[in-house]
A and B are shown apart, each in its own frame.
Chain A
Amino acid sequence: MASLFGGGASSSSSNALNQERLDMALTEMDTVTDLFNRMVSSCQSKCIARYAEAELSKGESVCIDRCVAKYHAVYAAVGEKLKIRGEGQQQR
């Protein structure tokens, strides 16, 4: 997952279909899509309490903004933990 958000694939310019690179790009896209969808549904549960009106209230809007930021922070924190664990397992 090293190239996530980083745009790792940059070299090579042949016109041939490279299934491996294609799969990598699609896996990356699926990962981001999945993250986004989970974020939408999590922040919906956390921030939207009522459906009596169609517009987002001021409070809900602020909640959503913070929710997205925090979701990202948790994503990074969990990633960091998994990375450390992964490195520890490799050393054994």
Chain B
Amino acid sequence: MDFSGLSPAEQAQVTKIVEKRQFQGFLSMYGKLVEKCFQTCVNDFTSKSLSSKEDQCVNNCAAKFMAHSERVSARFAEMNADVMSGQKNVSG
């Protein structure tokens, strides 16, 4: 995001607000990821602890989500860079 048009005082305040939102964003992502992995991996309620299979699934789920999120982030950044430079690449 481009905040270069702002004064230093404004940028300092923006940084503070951005940090707060990043934390909120992290918590929200955490909650959603737990829900997603729980729904996907946990289907057996004959025991109150996670089975090793469930535990493995949850670990994979979290790892895979992070890989997914990073990939989307990379493509998203490329896309935005394309839009900014005005050369809209409609390919793929």
Contact = CB atoms under 8 A, between A and B. Distances in A.
Interface residues of B, number: 44
Interface in B1-59: 1-10, 13-14, 17-18, 21, 25, 28-29, 32, 36-37, 40-41, 57, 59
A82 interface: no
A18 B10 contact: yes
B56 to A, nearest CB: 9
Contact of A44 (B8, B28, B36, B83): B36
Main SS class of interface, B:
helix
Interface size classification for chain A: 35 or more
A91 interface: no
A69 B92 contact: yes
Given A11-B5, A51-B37, A64 B21 contact: no
Interface of B: 1-10, 13-14, 17-18, 21, 25, 28-29, 32, 36-37, 40-41, 57, 59-61, 63-65, 67-69, 71-73, 75-76, 79-80, 83-84, 90, 92
A32 B1 contact: yes
